[in-house]
Structure 1
Amino acid sequence: MEQLIQQIKKKQSLLCVGLDTDRNKIPPHLLKEEDPLFAFNKAIIEATHSFTVAYKPNTAFYEAHGEAGWRALKKTIDYLNTHHPDIFTIADAKRGDIGNTSTMYAKAFFEEMAFDSVTVAPYMGRDSVEPFLAFEHKYAILLALTSNEGASDFQTQKLTEEELYKKVLQTSLTWRNSDRLMYVVGATKAEFLKEIRKIVPHQFLLVPGVGAQGGSLEDVCQYGLNDRYGLLINSSRGIIYASQGEDFAEVAREKAQELQREMEKLLSTVKVK
């Protein structure tokens, strides 16, 4: 975690770039490449890494292509770990199952793929999450309060006087190695961040939903920053698909830099321990 904090401090950025690489949306000229998904990812990474502290491939976009997709994902994480080892990596896989199954998922992403973290669904409780927390220097990012419309079906429903997402946060702190937990909190739920920070004041929050989904960067920073930064703010479509032309990487760089500059202004008031 210290490495991530140093990256944020050095780059004055909270930016996480989501590599939700859709073969149908990448520039057409890349389809001639032997591995179009990896070719796209490599170009995006090289264009944006100066402003980025984390990358988050959504594994569904690779799994959909079977063996070829998994190869592209493996090549992407290997490229990051070789050329930009200080940048934090997130497997956005949203796994969650019990016992040995969770252990196998954890081995897949932490040992075989060498990601730093993986997103995990908490619905099945302690024994579905603790296997991910057993790996030293690795992190499970728990889905707490997501940005999608259906989040209100369960997450903000009250159990007596308390919303379910608060119960998830409170309970997760009792689990073994809970210091290796991070949490997903959607930017479109920024008004909830004040309450969330009362429960998990020290943990990092992964915040999707800024930009294309309408979340406010300023609000997220106002309510979510802590004295060790404590935020990773994800942008996917707004950066990686900013252009469909041969200039896609250059335009992605410009969009990433724009966000980084906004973040730098907001970070100027933070006193970090």
Structure 2
Amino acid sequence: MTTAQLISEIKKKQSFLCIGLDVDLNKIPQYLLQEEDPIFAFNKAIIDATHHLCVAYKPNTAFYEAYGLKGWKALEKTINYLNDKHPEIFTIADAKRGDIGNTSSMYAKAFFEDLAFDSVTVAPYMGKDSVEPFLAFKDKHTILLALTSNQGAFDFQTKTVGDKELYKQVLETSKTWHNAENLMYVVGATKAEFLEDIRQIIPNSFLLVPGVGAQGGNLQDVCKYGMNANVGLLINSSRGIIYASNKEDFVNAAAEKAKDIQIVMQSILSSR
């Protein structure tokens, strides 16, 4: 999917919501455990109920890898379902990969060619030769971890190295990499006060913003400091939507939570 197509979908749906599909079998409605593939059954129900309210889905691969082969199969069925039924929706493999060049090439092939995701999250710690293999794929996006929402982000990311914070050096350096136009960035919603400085460095890039909802991030603050002329934001909510209920009404509950967020987003967009 191209960036232009993503922007078009945001305008059409009046939404920049991304829904995280982080499936924990201990949290889903217990009756679904009787299904042949309870993970996919849960995902399919969530997608069917919310696809008109969001522009992206983000499965965190750890929640599938934890269940071994059956989990990976459920991930494959989920992405195939999305690509078949809702090709207009942007898909994110939240895998946080990043290794030496030839290994990164194989990770990129796994997520972009075999599973056909539109994007994948990547860690920048090993530098450009670990990231550029992902950037080489046409109309695919590499979402670089820039400033994350967890408390441990302050251990390294905000430390001053030389004359500026490390996360700012990551942002500036990444702009020099080959095919950098394919980069997006992860910036946690709990770090909204940093967004103004971040936009000075990467004014036009899309930001994937986790942490709204269960982690306490504020949507209005994120939009105030992080939104650009093309919106430039994908606001992720996972637990707050998909686990709005663990009973038989979970589909309606998830749709209601997603709708609540979409209504706020529509209001923000209409006021711009």
Q: Are residue 155 (structure 1) and residue 153 (structure 2) matched?
A: no
> Secondary structure in 1 aligned to 2:186?
strand
Using the alignment, how far apart are the partners of 1:171 and 1:202 within structure 2? 16
1:260 maps to which residue? 262
Using the alignment, how far apart are the partners of 1:158 and 1:183 within structure 2? 20
In structure 1, what residue type is equivalent to 2:48?
Answer: E
Percentage identity across paired residues of the two chains? 71
Using the alignment, how far apart are the partners of 1:204 and 1:131 within structure 2? 20
Question: Which of 179, 188, 213 is 2:190 aligned to?
Answer: 188
> Secondary structure in 2 aligned to 1:51?
coil
1:237 maps to which residue? 239
In structure 1, what residue type is equivalent to 2:6?
Answer: L
In structure 2, what residue type is equivalent to 1:36?
Answer: P
Using the alignment, how far apart are the partners of 1:213 and 1:65 within structure 2? 25
Using the alignment, how far apart are the partners of 1:115 and 1:146 within structure 2? 22
TM-score, normalised via structure 2 length: 0.99
1:64 maps to which residue? 66
Q: Are residue 119 (structure 1) and residue 125 (structure 2) matched?
A: no
Question: Which of 144, 147, 171 is 1:145 aligned to?
Answer: 147
How big is the shift at 1:76?
0.1
2:38 maps to which residue? 36
TM-score, normalised via structure 1 length: 0.98
1:197 maps to which residue? 199
Q: Are residue 136 (structure 1) and residue 127 (structure 2) matched?
A: no
How big is the shift at 1:201?
0.2
After TM superposition, the runs of 4+ consecutive aligned structure 1 residues lying more than 6 A away are none
1:107 maps to which residue? 109
> Secondary structure in 1 aligned to 2:51?
helix
> Secondary structure in 2 aligned to 1:184?
strand
Using the alignment, how far apart are the partners of 2:163 and 2:137 within structure 1? 35
> Secondary structure in 1 aligned to 2:12?
helix
Give the alignment's Cα RMSD to 1 decimal. 0.5
> Secondary structure in 1 aligned to 2:50?
helix
1:6 maps to which residue? 8
1:21-62: CA deviations, max 9, x gaps? 111111100000000000000000000011010000000000
Instruction: Structure 1: give runs of 5+ residues left out of the alignment.
Output: none
In structure 2, what residue type is equivalent to 1:247?
Answer: D
> Secondary structure in 2 aligned to 1:169?
helix
In structure 2, what residue type is equivalent to 1:125?
Answer: G
How big is the shift at 1:269?
3.0
**How many residues are paired up?**
270
Question: Which of 162, 168, 172 is 2:174 aligned to?
Answer: 172
2:57 maps to which residue? 55
In structure 2, what residue type is equivalent to 1:18?
Answer: G
Q: Are residue 23 (structure 1) and residue 25 (structure 2) matched?
A: yes
How big is the shift at 1:222?
0.6
Using the alignment, how far apart are the partners of 2:43 and 2:226 within structure 1? 29
How big is the shift at 1:233?
0.1
